[in-house]
Amino acid sequence: MVNRTKSKRVAGELMDKDTMLDLYHEMVLVRRLEEAFETLYQEGKIGGFLHLYIGQEAVGSGVIGARQPQDRVITAYRDHGIAISCGIDPKSIVAELFGKEAGTSKGRGGSMHLGNTDLNFWGGHAIVGAHMPLATGMAMADKYRGSDAVTICLFGDGATNGGYFHEALNLSMVWDLPILWVCENNQYGMGTAVERASAVTEIRQKAEGYGMPNERVDGMDILKVYEATSKNLDLVRKNGPFFLELMTYRFRGHSIGDPERYREKEEIDMWRKDDPIGIFRKHLLSTNGLTDAVLDNIEAKAQSEIEEAIKFAEASADPSLDSLFDYVYVD
Amino acid sequence: MAVITMREAISQAIWEEMERDEDVFIMGEEVGIWGGTYAVTRGFYDHFGGERVRDTPIAEGVIIGAANGAAMAGLRPIAELMTINFAFLAMDQIVNHSAKLRLMFGGQFKIPIVIRAVGGGGRQLGATHSQTPDAVFAHFPGLKVVSPGTPSDAKGLLKTAIRQDDPVMFIENATLYQVRGEVPDEEHLVPIGVSKVQREGHDATIVTYSKMLQKSFVAAERLSSEGIEVEIVDLRTLRPLDMGPVVQSFKKTNRAVIVEEGWKSYGVGAEIAARLYEEAFDYADAPIKRLAQKEVPLPYNHDLEQHAIPQVEDIIMAVKEVL
């Protein structure tokens, strides 16, 4: 497993080689996990909806790779990759999707509600935009207590057309809260293209209306994502909210069962040429003196971790029926 | 024991809990510099400062949402909704988040939030500012719903709500703020989820809460002058519902009238009546009577509005019908 909390990184600093290899491993781990979920879902082993992160790995790994341990992360329902980047063991992720007691949320949340507060990952949230006010409140609490933590809130382009987005961005500026707003612009809200749903297609422009500094960055290249995040996390710690728009693309449908009538195969193929793992691999081979053998070895390791995770989850227990009422009330 | 108003009781509860625990803070529209739309937090801003008495934009979704987030992070927010009618703008946060986040994440964190909301009709505010939708909130497991009818209960229940760890909808009635009553001078906590016999009697049971408790007191005195002694059970908490004193009283009087300000269909009366039939069917000597608001959005006109809301005379008549 990647140890996400091992090094304090200086803002703007380029990644060292070990960090790069960790993050390469992490991105491959996410890819293999999602491919496995696709199969397991078709085999009927996973209930509910399934939203895959394939194609967007550089966003999660780049953004969260740059955070400090005290920084909170909260995201929407496409959360498997974010969970891995936050350091959650794939075993407990697979177990959650299987509905097992050993899952991150004890089998109560499922695919869209992964979380681990010890690792400062505050969830996967399934109502579009609704976690943005939650992020506002968490950042308010950190400021209230004098902590230097930043809350990193990831959301899709689709969320930026709803009321929560505007209420939360506005309040974050009014209260001057330490939040890094990260828009994962994968260019579709379900099947509706950005230009069909948003009055401005450059989402970062919406931050302008709130006087919030902002930037649009290539979300397929982890080095660019990492650098932009490091730099801007530092700004947030000093100055308050920042809005980072990351241009990305999901290679699979919105969820399993999406007939994908809304986009052409040529468009998908074009984006696939920018596979974030491919881009990173090319970089590692060309500038860091790494060999195919080293990277293939990392990929094989990731593959076996996922296989182990599936075995673990299959063997682990369902919650007992007696526990039905657990966690409804504390008192 | 001091005699104080409901407004003073609620104000004291918040003040004392904010003095006791720095994690407690209040946020909402006009809670700060204005001093609260209903003057409940007058003086708080100057004493506690803007960090702990936080004025918000008029944006209910982020008011409750941010309070939920602050609660997840370990603070104990009191989020004030100027009126309960505005809760509908925050319904997703209350229903999908306050009530559910803890379970959905396998108990990893708590949501110790108190949502104060002012409800009730009778003030000629029109249909969107006059509702009593308490039963709507009581429908959802994960929420606790509290609605006091006396200053003493208001203070004790609110202090308990702030100290305990679950999300609470604390529903106040705007026409009760001037009601006076005795409140203990010493530390005063009232448990959530405990109904209370507020008046003893043997001829019939009135089950009620909040504003209708006060109207039922008046009705009970007039009935008493005619030789009819009603017992009044005050629910105080709608969820979790304590049927103990209700069933006990019904077994004694064998007759019940349920009085609520909200609409009858799918309401509090429907729930209580069904439970009485389930738990004490053999004790009924008359069909259980439900008294509630007539099924209409409340009109502005004074007489029309009052006609739609249960009045003391209606309660008296309903009691006589079950005798």
Nearest to A134 among B65, B102, B164 (CB): B65
- CB contacts, 8 Å: B164 with chain A: 330-331
Per-residue pLDDT tens for B109-162?
Answer: 999 999 999 999 999 999 999 999 999 999 999 999 999 999 999 999 999 999
- CB contacts, 8 Å: A138 with chain B: 69-70, 72-73
Q: If we measure between CA atoms, which residue out of A98, A118, A117 comes closest to residue A108?
A: A98
Query: Cα–Cα distance between B57 and B73 in angstroms, integer?
Result: 22
Per-residue pLDDT tens for B43-71?
Answer: 999 999 999 999 999 999 999 999 999 99
Domain that holds residue A148: 17-317
Sign of the dihedral through C-alpha A98, A100, A104, A105: positive
Helix (H, G, I), strand (E, B) or coil at B147: coil
Per-residue pLDDT tens for A226-281?
Answer: 999 999 999 999 999 999 999 999 999 999 889 899 999 999 999 999 999 999 99
User: How does residue A13 score in pLDDT terms, banded at 50, 70 and 90?
Assistant: low
B64 touches chain A (CB under 8 A): yes
Q: What is the mean pLDDT of residues A113-133?
A: 98
Do A144 and B62 count as a contact with CB atoms less than 8 A apart?
no
Residues B207 and B167 in one domain: no
Residues B162 and B200 in one domain: no
How far lies A256's CA from each of A46, A142, A259, B5, in Å?
11, 37, 9, 59
The answer to the question of residue A329 being in a domain is no
Element (H, E) at A85: helix A80-85
Backbone angles phi, psi at B107, to 5 degrees: 75, 20
B227 touches chain A (CB under 8 A): no
Per-residue pLDDT tens for A139-154?
Answer: 999 999 999 999 999 9
Number of domains in chain A: 1
Nearest to A135 among B61, B69, B75 (CB): B69
Residues B204 and B272 in one domain: yes
DSSP code, position B93:
I
Domain that holds residue B171: 2-183
Query: Cα–Cα distance between B85 and B73 in angstroms, integer?
Result: 28
Residues B124 and B16 in one domain: yes
Q: What is the pLDDT of residue A7?
A: 42
Helix (H, G, I), strand (E, B) or coil at A19: helix
Query: Cα–Cα distance between A314 and A310 in angstroms, integer?
Result: 6
Residues B212 and B168 in one domain: no
Among candidate residues B183, B211, B238, the one where a domain is terminated? B183
Do B65 and A130 count as a contact with CB atoms less than 8 A apart?
yes
The answer to the question of residue B139 being in a domain is yes
Closest CA–CA distance from residue B6 to any residue of chain A (Å): 26
Do B57 and A127 count as a contact with CB atoms less than 8 A apart?
no
Residues B17 and B141 in one domain: yes
Number of domains in chain B: 2
Residues B123 and B246 in one domain: no
Closest CA–CA distance from residue A325 to any residue of chain B (Å): 9
B109 touches chain A (CB under 8 A): yes
The answer to the question of residue B191 being in a domain is no
Nearest to B166 among A136, A140, A329 (CB): A329
Query: Cα–Cα distance between B173 and B206 in angstroms, integer?
Result: 19
The answer to the question of residue A324 being in a domain is no
Average pLDDT, whole number, for chain B? 98
Do B106 and A164 count as a contact with CB atoms less than 8 A apart?
no
Query: What CATH number does residue B173 fall under?
Result: 3.40.50.970
Do B61 and A140 count as a contact with CB atoms less than 8 A apart?
no
The answer to the question of residue B278 being in a domain is yes
Residues B248 and B314 in one domain: yes
Do A117 and B70 count as a contact with CB atoms less than 8 A apart?
no
Do A327 and B107 count as a contact with CB atoms less than 8 A apart?
yes
Instruction: Please report the DSSP string for A91-157 in residue order.
Output: HHHHHHHTT-TTSTTTTSS-GGG--BGGGTEEEE--STTTHHHHHHHHHHHHHHTT----EEEEEEG
Q: What is the mean pLDDT of residues B233-251?
A: 98
Closest CA–CA distance from residue A317 to any residue of chain B (Å): 15
Q: Cβ distance B191 to B161 under 8 Å?
A: no
Residues B172 and B210 in one domain: no
The answer to the question of residue B67 being in a domain is yes
Q: What is the mean pLDDT of residues A54-67?
A: 97
Do B65 and A142 count as a contact with CB atoms less than 8 A apart?
no
Per-residue pLDDT tens for A158-213?
Answer: 999 999 999 999 999 999 999 999 999 999 999 999 999 999 999 999 999 999 99
* Closest CA in chain A for residue B160: A331
Among candidate residues B183, B204, B233, the one where a domain is terminated? B183
Residues B233 and B139 in one domain: no
Query: What CATH number does residue B293 fall under?
Result: 3.40.50.920
Residues B30 and B84 in one domain: yes
A328 touches chain B (CB under 8 A): yes
Among candidate residues B159, B183, B207, the one where a domain is terminated? B183
The burial of B198, by beta-carbon neighbours within 10 Å (0-12 exposed, 13-18 middle, 19 or more buried), is given as buried
Report ipTM for this prediction. Answer: 0.96
- CB contacts, 8 Å: B71 with chain A: 137
Residues 6+ apart with CB under 8 A from A98: A45, A46, A107, A313, A314, A316
The answer to the question of residue A327 being in a domain is no
- CB contacts, 8 Å: A177 with chain B: none
Residues B24 and B156 in one domain: yes
pLDDT at A16 exceeding the cut of 80: yes
